[in-house]
Structure 1
Amino acid sequence: MRLRDLRRTSGFRVACLFFATFGGASLALYGFLYIDTRSYGRTAAYEWVRWETKHLRSLPSRSLIERIEVSEDFAEGGRPLVLFAPDGSRRAGAKIDFPKTAPLDRPFPLTQEKDGNRLVFFSEISRLPSGDFLLVSRSARELQALQKALVETFAWGIFGTIAIGLVGSVIFGAGSLRQNAAITSAVERIMRGDLSERLPTRGVSADLAHLTRVVNDMLDQLERLMLEIKGVNENIAHDLRTPLTRVMASLERSLRSVDTVEGFRAVNEDSLGDVKEIVARFSALLRISEMEDRLRRSGFTDIDLCRILDDAVEYYGPLAVEKRITIEWKCANAPCLVEGDRSLVFEAASNLLDNAVKFTPRNGRIKVVVFYDPPGFAVEDNGCGIPDDEISAVRDRYRRGNLTRGKAGFGIGLSLVDSIARLHNVTFELASGISGCRATLQWSGPA
């Protein structure tokens, strides 16, 4: 851990800023307390001097002199009293010279030198009816001791605040460095090709926790896409090997044995069917790529699910009649409006109906239902259904359930529906019961 790196961390800087702010506030508070305490002490001392002066002025001359003679002199915390003659000479009391510049009947600070020490007194001098002058004083030593204690306390407090602030800043900065190191290490492993690695979420500060969760979700999506890309060549080679082999075999056979126009035509028709199958598979792949690239969101408008489903049911009606399958479909008079691409939503509904017709046995039943709050639709059949362990995997490209191996198809239909649902931010759910399957597309709210 280098000091340069520590100083650059946001945790260290925020902690320093916080403790600097707290230290400044503490310093201002200490200054206010010092000034307020000093002012209160001076005010209390002068009030005592004024009260004592008033009390002594009310005493008879003899009692006043006796009281002055027994007063404390310059002892610590002392309260010396002095009686001066009209000419300023000292008659009784402490050995203090007459303060010629002092105001009468007003408090003032009096400074005296004793044994090389400078002593300060809160004093007031007043003229008695006899013409004498009375000086009443109170030592400022107690207040000075209190001020010194306050200064020492405040100094230790500021020192402690700075020390705690620096220690706290180092701790927060070190925590930020550990978080950054953990995140950097995870990112480096991801860059080296370990797409299963995720950014750490435990022990991460709140400001980074949300970001790491979003990044981890992004990595999940990237891993899924990379795995699909990684396996797409395999899947294409596996699924296209048979039709390409048939095309090659037909062409070779035609070169060796066919010598009539009718023979060449038959071979070409067979080869053309296989090529059309290959083109259909590539078209479906391109269609899914277009969905996942989100290039068609700009063309979204308000569409009516009832009309789209009505067209899809009408399109697959003859095929259902041929298999003696009953399609139950009825829409309310009110339109069910959502935001989306009409052709894509029709394609999703067509794929779901195509699967339902394909996997529903003869004399079976298909039910198409539209929802209004929130809007959406469902296609339900009583066919072979999807096993629970395959219900999430059938959304992948080229993935076909074990119960559908004998049926025609490429294993791309549900992948296409899933891509259309993601493009529209629609919830796509598959549920399979004891008999049949139910596919649901549901928008989050009305258009």
Structure 2
Amino acid sequence: MLKYWRSTSLRVALLFAVFFIIGAAFLASLLWWNTAGYLDRETDAVIAADTRAIGDRLRDFGLPGAVQMLQERVATAASPNADRRAIYLLTDPRLRPLAGNVDAWPLKIGAAPGWYEIELVHRDKLHATRMLHVVLPGNFQLLVGRDVQDRAQIRNLVLRSLAWSGIAMLILALAGGWLIRRAVLHRVEGINRTATAIRQGDLAQRLPQRGSDDEFDQLVVTINRMLDQIQQLVEGVRNVSNAIAHDLRTPLAETRARLEGLLRHADQGQEEIAAAIADIDRLIGVFNALLRLAELDSGLRRAGFQPLDPALLVEEAAELYTPFAEAKGISLDVHAVAGSSITGDRQLLAQAIGNLLDNAIKYTPQGGRIVVAATAEAITVADSGPGMTEEERGLAAQRFYRGDAARGAAGFGLGLSLVEAIARLHGGGLSLEDNAPGLRAVLKLA
């Protein structure tokens, strides 16, 4: 039972049931209060009118007139079609009955005049009554009342109905809470199974969706996107570790060999030292690029975002790289219309465009063509070089990946990784497409 009570869905269902019961009780109480109040006012008005009439008769005609009036009213109340709920009793100062339909003065009626609600034997049965005790001239005691047993029965009926309704609502709330708990647990169990599989190392697992677009599906979409990011980061770290061990081993071995050569040939030290410094600079460049990627993946550069015109960024980058393109006999065309606006980091976007242009110039043969275009949604760099196969395009953005065309070219395989990280920081991504011939790199912006 304790396990079920720990269920949030069951507690919520019970809480709503309690609120519903309280609301229903309040509504029933309000209806009863208004209905009972109306009946009480009507009853009190009839009793007060009878009391005044008997008092007036006593003052006008004396005790015989009052007794005669009471006898007439008792006789009328005893007729088959009359209202038999009326109660009358007139006594002398010693409470000895003079007239009425009550045999003796009720013990529950005190000596003080006023209103009383008592149980009284009326028509051979014990009934709830409402009575008015007044003292008439001559210290005669008058008791006028009405049988209100029917109102008491209505009250008991309402109270029993409320009690049974409350029990029924409580049972329905428990059943509803159990059903809600079962439905919620079914979804939660799926999340738990997936989380357990991910914790055990299967990062490709994703939470299941029902396609209902409810709150759970929206949460699942958010968590799956987070898992995609985590998987990408973990695989990136794994690939970086392997790539560092593979790609940095050669420059380190070359540096070590040169330093050993310095020990054997001191007269050739200057050239070897310069080559060793160049190798170390290459290593520093690799680690700087890795640190830059780590900074981009953490999202720390979002604080520097500002409104930018992508057309101006493209034109500035093209102006910077035009001399390199012309040196290889490559035409560099820009298609961008100023006026659109994006929000981003100027320095990072300029670096991303520069990396794409640098790759395009590097792999486009002499006499080729490069086209750069910019819109508010994307920046595109298309070349007429050898391009990439579909498999290579899927791997090109991985860190330290080097395609077949890049084996003999300078670089570390981090350029497109930086571009993708910059695009992801801006809410977009990097897409590599076939330009037939060549490669089209699309830097998508959010």
Would you call these one fold, judging by a TM-score over 0.5?
yes
* Residues 3-12 or 219-228, more deviating: 3-12
Residues 344-353 or 435-444, more deviating? 435-444
List aligned pairs for 1:93-172, cutoff 5 A. 112-113=120-121, 117-120=125-128, 139-169=147-177, 172=180
Is the contact between residue 314 and residue 373 of structure 2 (CA under 8 Å) also seen in structure 1? no
Answer yes or no: is the 8 Å Cα contact 1:306–1:331 preserved in 2.
yes
**Per-residue deviation, 1:200:** 6.2
Measure how far apart 1:208 and its partner are: 6.2
Asked if the contact 2:87/2:147 (under 8 Å) is kept, the reply is: no
| Alignment partner of 1:412 is 2:417 | no
Equivalent of residue 379 in structure 2, options 359, 377, 380: 377
Q: How far apart are 1:19 and its partner, in Å?
A: 1.8
Aligned partners of 2:194 and 2:205 also within 8 Å = yes
2-structure distance, mates of 1:214, 1:10 = 22
- Which residue pairs with 2:136 in the alignment? none
Q: Deviations over 1:269-321 (max 9, x none)?
A: 66666555444433433332333244444455666655543443233223322
Q: Distance between the aligned counterparts of 1:50 and 1:18, measured in 2?
A: 47
Contact 1:383/1:435, CA 8 A, preserved across alignment:
yes
Deviation (angstroms), 1:366: 1.0
Offset, 1:12: 3.5
Q: 1:203 to 1:327 in 2, by over 3 A?
A: closer
CA distance in 1, matches of 2:26, 2:307: 63
- The answer as to whether partners of 1:288 and 1:419 remain within 8 angstroms in 2 is yes
Q: 1:112 to 1:417 in 2, by over 3 A?
A: closer
Q: 3-state SS of the aligned residue for 2:422?
A: helix
Question: Are 2:384 and 2:435, in contact at CA under 8 Å, matched by a contact in 1?
Answer: no
Q: Quote the offset at 1:52 in angstroms.
A: 12
In the TM superposition, 1:305-320 aligns within 5 A as 305=310, 308-320=313-325
CA gap of 1:119–1:314, structure 2 versus 1, over 3 A, is: closer
Judge conservation of contact 1:73–1:94 (CA < 8 Å) in 2: no
TM-score by length of 1: 0.70
Contact 2:21/2:166 (<8 A) preserved: yes
Unaligned runs of 5+ in 2: 52-70, 91-95, 134-142
Residue of 347, 356, 368 corresponding to 2:360:
356
Tell me, yes or no, if the aligned pair for 2:117 and 2:128 is still in contact at 8 Å: yes
> In structure 1, what residue type is equivalent to 2:295?
E
- 1:219-250, CA deviations, whole angstroms, 9 ceiling, x for partnerless residues? 32222111121222222233234445556677
Q: Which residue of 1 aligns with 2:326?
A: 321
1:21 matches 2:19? yes
Contact 1:74–1:80 under 8 Å retained in 2 = no
CA RMSD of aligned residues (A): 5.4
| Counterpart Cα distance in 2 of 1:78 and 1:398 | 105
Q: Who is 2:32 aligned against?
A: 34
Over the matched positions of the two proteins, sequence identity in percent amounts to: 30
Structure 1 range deviating more: 69-78 or 298-307: 69-78
TM-score (norm 2): 0.70
Q: CA offset at residue 435 of structure 1?
A: 2.7
**Partner residue of 1:434?**
436
CA contact (8 A) 1:77 1:138 kept: no
Question: Could you tell me how far 1:379 is from its partner in structure 2?
Answer: 1.8
1:70 CA drift (Å): 8.0
Q: Separation in 1 of the partners of 2:216 and 2:339?
A: 48
Deviates more, 1:146-155 or 1:4-13: 4-13
- Which blocks of at least 5 consecutive residues in structure 1 are unaligned? 54-64, 102-106, 126-134
Amino acid at match of 2:21: G
Q: For residue 396 of structure 2, give the secondary structure of its aligned residue in structure 1.
A: helix
One-letter code of the match for 2:383?
Answer: D
Distance 1:150 1:288, change over 3 A: closer
Given the alignment, which residue of 264, 281, 287 partners 1:282? 287
